Structure 1
Amino acid sequence: MKILLVDDHNLFAEGLKTLLCDFDPAPEVILCPSCEQALDTPDLAAVDLVLLDYYLSGVSGIEALRSLRAACVNSLIAVVSALEDPEVIHDLIEAGAAGFIPKTTTYASLSSALRTVLSGTIYLPPALLAIQDNNKSTNAPSGLNLLSPRQREVLDQVVMGKPNKVIASNLGISENTVKAHVSASFRLLQVKNRTEAVFAAAKLQNSRIEASV
């Protein structure tokens, strides 16, 4: 596992790196204090996970995310920030983020969130999911159980922010087939776009965690 940690707050970045290196197996962690330096990382395409701070000098969080999303088409990108504005988080997801981890969370919750994203699973704060539930009632989690194995494969890559062309290449199918699976999956989930699908996937993950406790 190769992780790119993009954060210009040295104390937090070093602490997060230490936490990650305590995992078993320990991932390779590359620290970058800027988006520009991150984009110049050797063998950037081999990065499995990008942990991106929302506040970076010289570039907005959305711009940094879009640049890294374009450069790391097969990488999972999660934003780590002290900012917990629901509208901003929605915008980040719309721009290709596959998760959001608050810097204000407890050590135990941070560790759990990191393990979740390291497993390739969507993570969103439970408080944010609660707000989403209050704003819109959805049967998406149960709808996920109705998806075919191929639809689930496509959806997993959609919520990670991968474009249709990349999904088609990864799965060995045509872009038109990808589009058909996406449309069918969205109908079953009763969602209209990728952002709502990400929330549905995160909600299902949280319900599974709660059921296992």
Structure 2
Amino acid sequence: MNILVVDDHPLYRSGVVHTLQNTGMEVNVVECAALETAFQRASEGQQFDLVILDLQMPGYQGTDSVRAVRMRLPELPVLVLSGNEDPAIVRDCIDLGACGFVPKSAPSDEFHAALTLVLSGGVYLPPTSLSVGSPASRAQQDAWARLGARLTDRQRQVLLGIVQGKPNKVIARDLGLSDTTVKSHVAHILDALVVSNRTEAVYALARAGLTMRDLEPAPTRAC
């Protein structure tokens, strides 16, 4: 497994690498102190399974670093690390397609849990972020529990695209569907999850403990 660690602080970067090397996983870690260096490594043909990204990188403001990675390396899952634990920042990162957010103040076991969940196809959100706002209603809890029965295989594929942060046009292209059809599927998905937008849908999956593997279409059975 190849993991790209992008952080301009040598001491913190080495700490992340040390933690990765002590997870018990077989990992090959590539360190970069700048996003441009990371893009260069990726352009050289090396394949990565995950990028662990410091949110505040030189030359980038706010969530621009996440936006840049999602634009340049759209298929690469992004796990964000940040000293800023503002729930609004967490939400913005997830809205841009990050698969997880870990505060730099988090203990190593939380980082390990986030890493494990993201690598298995889940979305990791810090507990403080999940607790913000109104708790899940009974209707939402019931909807999440019945999610498999309420979505068709095609809608599961569309929801996978939403979790990966893909816009409707990209989902339509990937699945060979029209934009109108994808919009219709998205509307049904939001209704099924009892949420009002794409980011809330991702939060719903995180609250429910579901991963992208849970959303994969069920295998067809021979008659």
Matches within 5 A, 1:34-73: 34-43=34-43, 46-73=47-74
Matches within 5 A, 1:1-213: 1-43=1-43, 46-134=47-135, 137=137, 139=140, 141-142=144-145, 144-145=147-148, 146-205=150-209
Gaps of 5+ in 1: 207-213
**Equivalent position amino acid for 1:125 in 2:** P
Q: Distance in 1 between matches of 2:47 and 2:190?
A: 30
- 1:131 is displaced (CA, Å) by 1.4
SS of 1:104's equivalent? coil
CA distance 1:151–1:89, shift in 2 (3 Å) = same
SS of 2:131's equivalent? helix
Kindly indicate whether the alpha-carbon contact (under 8 Å) linking 2:56 and 2:65 is maintained by their aligned counterparts in 1: no
Q: Distance in 2 between matches of 1:149 and 1:70?
A: 27
Q: Distance in 2 between matches of 1:148 and 1:46?
A: 32
Q: Distance in 1 between matches of 2:146 and 2:27?
A: 34
Q: Distance in 1 between matches of 2:17 and 2:176?
A: 35
- 1:105 is displaced (CA, Å) by 1.2
Q: Distance in 1 between matches of 2:49 and 2:69?
A: 12
- 1:123 is displaced (CA, Å) by 0.3
- 1:176 is displaced (CA, Å) by 4.0
- 1:25 is displaced (CA, Å) by 4.1
| TM-score, with length taken from structure 2 | 0.80
SS of 1:131's equivalent? coil
Cα deviations by residue, 1:31-58 (Å, 9 ceiling, x for unpaired) = 1112222222234784332211112222
| TM-score, with length taken from structure 1 | 0.83
Percent identity at matched positions?
40
- 1:114 is displaced (CA, Å) by 1.0
Cα deviations by residue, 1:130-150 (Å, 9 ceiling, x for unpaired) = 11334x746053353322233
**Max radius of gyration: which structure?**
2
Cα deviations by residue, 1:55-84 (Å, 9 ceiling, x for unpaired) = 222211411111110111112112111211
Gaps of 5+ in 2: 211-223
Kindly indicate whether the alpha-carbon contact (under 8 Å) linking 1:20 and 1:26 is maintained by their aligned counterparts in 2: no
Count of residue pairs brought into register by the alignment: 205
Larger proportion of helix: 1
Cα deviations by residue, 1:180-199 (Å, 9 ceiling, x for unpaired) = 32221111112222211111
Aligned-residue Cα RMSD (Å) equals 2.4
